[in-house]
């Protein structure tokens, strides 16, 4: 199936697939992504969101297969990030810069900051409804989900929610709907949540409560990336509910890097200790795993052991990269322990403990430090650390 894709009567997905992208601002997109844009045809023709710069002509071609793009009467911008607004200048140039551009208050401010243009911004707020020809649109501001400008557009007659980045997935393929792809899409949706929305989990909880209160009848959810949820939109809503609760699973991660195999030996032994307590565990070397894949595993991990050798009085740079990334996404409800080998000063464990403290993770103890190369008794301490982590997690889960 190629674009445009009909999603309802007179409503089309006219966005583009980016098959080649593998690094989306530091997030690994192993199956590319899509920039979804939607055309609503009627007495007035409305474009909801656009695509990343460089894909403009392809989007215009998609629209041309349905109608003359010049006949677009207005644009709705749900989100200013450049993968969705990058082609707004091209569209406005084509349709006339005086045409209305609907967006949130912060959207108007942010679009101006991006494109330095005084377009005909029509600011809409939560609960506002706009009727354009025979189509009605209502708006819900979703500030910081995940930018200040983010909003949802809902079509009450068609019962379609255009949810901006929320409920999206980085996936490019020949499937366009949840019923075509099935369960295969869920790992992509999960990775998206963990890497883009996790730190706003309390906002997600509040938003889901608001949506429930509003009693919106949602027949279809059209996010700005990936497939459209038409068969079972409740499935992704309930997944968001679950992920945003951040309830820990009986699962631990051992995240580490090593210079001369000493911290690696410690990591493997801690892993064995965790396994001996029958807790699911994953050993993740920061130079083998992409930070965004580690983050996806962090989402429901109840316990984390993080190991780093001490390099030049600090933590190993690749571990620092991953820790900075994890910290920014503010995962909650974690039990943690640090470990690492060192040569003379050995600051890494102390630095990691400080990071845990700042993230409000519960430390099981001060961690394990080993001079140069672990011996049998050091490894026994590592095994015990794994056991302690696992036992502490099990106790927490049984409370």
Partner 1 sequence: MDKWECPCGYVYDPEEGDLDNGIEPGTAWEDLPESWVCPLCGAEQEYFEKVD
Q: Which residues are catalytic?
A: 25, 79, 81, 83, 146, 165, 192, 225
173 near partner 1 (CB under 8 A): no
The residue range among 95-103, 141-149, 183-191, 264-272 that interacts with partner 1, by the rule CB under 8 A, is 141-149
* 246 CB-contact burial (10 Å; exposed 0-12 / middle 13-18 / buried 19+): middle
112 near partner 1 (CB under 8 A): no
The residue range among 142-150, 165-173, 238-246, 295-303 that interacts with partner 1, by the rule CB under 8 A, is 142-150
Of the pair 323, 338, the CB lying nearest partner 1 is at 323
148 near partner 1 (CB under 8 A): yes
Q: Are 188 and 32 in contact (CB under 8 A)?
A: no
Of the pair 282, 330, the CB lying nearest partner 1 is at 330
d(CA 71, CA 337): 60
The residue range among 80-88, 140-148, 293-301, 311-319 that interacts with partner 1, by the rule CB under 8 A, is 140-148
Interacting residue with partner 1 among 44, 94, 99, 105 (CB under 8 A)? 105
CB of 143 to partner 1, least distance (A): 6
**β-pair partners for 177:** 228
235 near partner 1 (CB under 8 A): no
Between CA 271 and CA 266, with CA 361 as vertex, the angle to 5 degrees is: 25
199 near partner 1 (CB under 8 A): yes
106 near partner 1 (CB under 8 A): yes
d(CA 265, CA 286): 15
Cis omega (within 30 of 0) for bond into 300 = no
159 near partner 1 (CB under 8 A): no
Please spell the DSSP secondary structure of 186-226, one letter per residue. HHHHHHHIIIIIGGGHHHHHHHHHHHHHHT---SEEE-SSS
144 near partner 1 (CB under 8 A): yes
Q: Which residues contact 61 (CB under 8 A, 6 or more apart)?
A: none
The residues that touch partner 1, with contacts defined as CB under 8 A, are: 105-106, 143-144, 148, 199, 203, 330
């Amino acid at each position: 199936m190629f674009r445009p894709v009909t999603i309802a009567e007179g409503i089309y997905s006219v966005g583009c697939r980016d098959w080649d992208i593998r690094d989306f601002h530091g997030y690994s997109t192993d199956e590319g992504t899509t920039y979804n844009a939607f055309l609503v045809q009627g007495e007035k023709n409305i474009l909801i969101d656009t695509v990343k710069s460089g894909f403009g002509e392809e989007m215009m071609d998609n629209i041309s297969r349905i109608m003359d793009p010049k006949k677009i009467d207005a644009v709705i911008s749900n989100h200013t990030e450049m993968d969705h607004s990058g082609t707004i200048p091209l569209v406005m140039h084509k349709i006339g810069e005086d045409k209305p551009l609907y967006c949130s208050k912060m959207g108007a401010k942010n679009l101006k900051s991006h494109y330095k243009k005084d377009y005909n911004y029509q600011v809409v707020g939560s609960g506002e409804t706009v009727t354009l020809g025979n189509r009605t649109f209502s708006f819900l501001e979703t500030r910081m989900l995940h930018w200040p400008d983010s909003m949802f557009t809902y079509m009450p007659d068609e019962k379609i929610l255009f949810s901006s980045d929320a409920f999206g997935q980085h996936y490019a393929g020949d499937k366009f709907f949840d019923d075509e792809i099935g369960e295969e899409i869920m790992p992509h949706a999960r990775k998206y949540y963990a890497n883009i929305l996790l730190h706003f989990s309390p906002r997600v909880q509040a938003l889901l409560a608001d949506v429930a209160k509003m009693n919106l009848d949602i027949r279809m959810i059209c996010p700005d990336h990936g497939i459209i949820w038409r068969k079972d939109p409740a499935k992704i809503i309930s997944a968001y509910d679950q992920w945003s609760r951040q309830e820990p699973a009986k699962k631990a991660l051992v995240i580490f890097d090593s210079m001369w195999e000493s911290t690696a030996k410690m990591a493997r032994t801690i892993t064995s200790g965790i396994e001996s307590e029958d807790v699911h565990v994953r050993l993740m070397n920061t130079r083998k795993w992409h930070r965004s894949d580690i983050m996806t595993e962090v989402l429901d991990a109840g316990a984390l052991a993080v190991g780093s050798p001490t390099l030049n009085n600090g933590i190993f740079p690749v571990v620092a990269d991953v820790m900075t990334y994890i910290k920014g996404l503010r995962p909650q409800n974690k039990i943690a322990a640090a470990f690492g080998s060192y040569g003379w000063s050995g600051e890494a464990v102390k630095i990691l403990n400080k990071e845990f403290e700042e993230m409000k993770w519960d430390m099981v103890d001060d961690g394990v430090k080993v001079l140069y190369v672990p011996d049998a008794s050091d490894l026994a301490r590592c095994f015990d650390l794994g056991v302690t982590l696992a036992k502490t997690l099990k106790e927490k889960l049984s409370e």
